[in-house]
Structure 1
Amino acid sequence: MSADAGASSRGLHAQPRLGISAHVLQGRELQILRMQAELPALILVDRGTKSVRNERGTAVRAQPGDAIVLAGGQMLDFTNAVDGGGQYEARWLVFDTTLLDDPYYLQRAAHVPPSSLWVLPRIRPGIANAFQAARQSLRPASGIPESVARQRMLEVMHWLLEEGIALARPPRTTSLSARIRALVGARPDDSWTAARIAGTLAVSEATLRRRLAAEQTSLTDLLADTRMATALTLLQATTQPVSAIALSVGYESPSRFAIRFRERFGFAPSAVRGHDRIDPLSNRTTE
């Protein structure tokens, strides 16, 4: 299976009520811990290997030509390992939950046992072709009507049913953390104060702090984690400079952004693209 041709394939494309496509590149092996996957996704690995483990201890590993399917609503650890040429490459397709309400799909999916992680070794040409057509339909300049794009996304989902894989709506959660992640994730560059978030969620600031403490987190940690997760995706799936990505997630200072990013993931933003270098005195990566 070959990846999309040309640098023009890079990018992150999202369509409301349909989903998101991304073409991810990494220049070195990285372990990415505690990433919240809210929506189901299909990942095709083109170069290197990808390993995924969820909170239950279920783990899968995909090599080039394989695919991984993720259920939504789970915390995951990822390890993306590069190939002999020093590259990891994969294409993502993320499914909006509105697709999961399609009546015919629901009828067929009801007969398939649910799971949280799957690996498809050497995927069928039918899935690969449907996957690529769905990805193309999510491009803003594709000119493909939403109704057609929707059918292309559903076609991928039905191919997965043929493999015994049913995508289910993520478990509904009443956690305040999940609501804040969704709120901030939609506009990570906004100024999200405790007063603004409390007002949007119709709770007092004291209640906000108390409920987050009960969920073993804080607003500061949630804001940083949501912004850094968005930044990681942009570093992997676009060619935007680090300074522009920093601004897009609410950091005017690239150096402050880099410090926060390293605190969250354990490596510098430049490491994602393989541009870091080794400090011979400390043996640490530096930008």
Structure 2
Amino acid sequence: MIRKIKASPGAGSSSLLLQHSELFISSIFVDKPELIFIQQGYSIIRHGLQETRVNSGEMLAVNSGNTLSFTNYLSDNGVFSCAILAWDASLFSDVRLHASPLEGVLPKVEDIRVITHLPLAFQQSFSDTHQSMLWQSLPPMIARHRMIEQLLWLSQLGISYSRQHSETVTLQVRDLLVNNLHKSFTAAEVAEQLKMNEVTLRRRLAAEHSVLRDLMIDVRMTHALRLLQCTDLAISNIAHQVGYESSSRFAERFRKRFGFAPTSIRGHLRPL
């Protein structure tokens, strides 16, 4: 079985994360609302000054627009694994059509929220949705309904995601870059895509404490990390997908960003 990240347009994506080494992974930007089910091991999440532990058998709801640091700790058999569902933003307008009268007073997931006591029916629903999204070719409408079902389960537990964060220029640039990972944009090209001039782009990014070159590197390396954790693609293939012709140059940039080499995640993977 070849691991992959499977995206369904208009619905979301499904992936299975495996790790065989305990690594501190710093400052990962979350661009879509996610629901993560820890299967083996446990995770320590750092968000601002807070530290949260998520154990095996628990879920973590993460809203988009947050930057998290974390360490994934291995189970007794030397594995950390978690199943991940990420929603397409358009689903949130759909799910409000089915919301209960209490929707306006449900606790909101502004950043992260741990779900400790999972009804068996919710676990089964999540597992079925994750597996079918990942390994089957679902019709788009069925995929959307499966993903909406998970949001409705959360609402049954008194949880809903807050509305999406304000659309900053930094987020607009990230969206552009993540959909064009192989392309090395100039500032002028990014400004043209965002329908503003280059001076305005740089000024607005600076006001948001962002730098275009740093954003490009961060988007590429964050995507590469997820590919390393959730797929069986060769490192050379991952390097090419994120715009690097040279695997050694990619490895150098990856190490500079995260403090460890790509092979720290991939090089010593053992079959389950």
TM-score (norm 2): 0.91
- Of residues 86-95 and 223-232 in structure 1, the stretch that sits farther from structure 2 once superposed is 86-95
1:42 alignment partner, SS class: strand
Does 1:130 pair with 2:125?
yes
Aligned to 1:100: 92
Give 1:1-287 correspondences, 5 Å limit.
Answer: 7-8=1-2, 10-55=3-48, 57-102=49-94, 103-105=97-99, 108-115=102-109, 116-139=111-134, 142-173=136-167, 175-275=168-268
Q: Is the 8 A contact 1:46 1:65 kept in 2?
A: yes
Report the alpha carbon displacement of residue 107 of structure 1 after superposing the two structures with TM: 5.1
What secondary structure sits across from 2:69 in the alignment?
Answer: strand
- Which AA in structure 2 matches 1:93? L
Contact preservation (8 Å) 2:9, 2:140: no
Q: Deviations over 1:149-198 (max 9, x none)?
A: 2111111111111222112332122x221111110001201231222111
Letter in 1 for 2:162: A
Q: Which consecutive residues of structure 2, in runs of 5 or more, have no partner in the other structure?
A: none
1:142 CA drift (Å): 2.1
How far is the alpha carbon of 1:73 from its aligned partner? 1.7
Return the letter of the residue paired with 2:196.
V
Identity of aligned residues (%): 36
Flag the structure with more relative contact order, 1 or 2, with Cα contacts below 8 A and sequence separation at least 6. Answer: 2
Q: In the superposition, relative to structure 1, how do residues 122 and 29 fare at CA in structure 2: closer, same or farther (>3 Å)?
A: farther
Q: How many residues align?
A: 266
Tell whether the 8 Å contact from 1:100 to 1:106 is kept in structure 2 after alignment.
Answer: no
Deviation string, structure 1 residues 61-112 (Cα, Å, up to 9, x no partner): 1121111111222111121111222221111001111111121137553230
Letter in structure 2 aligned against 1:151: H
Aligned partners of 1:39 and 1:170 also within 8 Å:
no
The unaligned stretches of length 5 or more in structure 1 are: 1-6, 277-287
Deviates more, 1:63-72 or 1:256-265: 63-72
Q: What one-letter code is carried by the residue in structure 1 that aligns with 2:106?
A: V
Alpha-carbon separation, structure 2, partners of 1:170 and 1:61: 25
Q: State the AA in 2 paired with 1:262.
A: R
Change (3 A) 1:84 1:274: farther
SS of 1:138 mapped into structure 2: helix
Indicate the SS of the match to 1:84: coil
- RMSD of the alignment, in Å? 1.8
Q: TM-score, normalised by structure 1?
A: 0.87
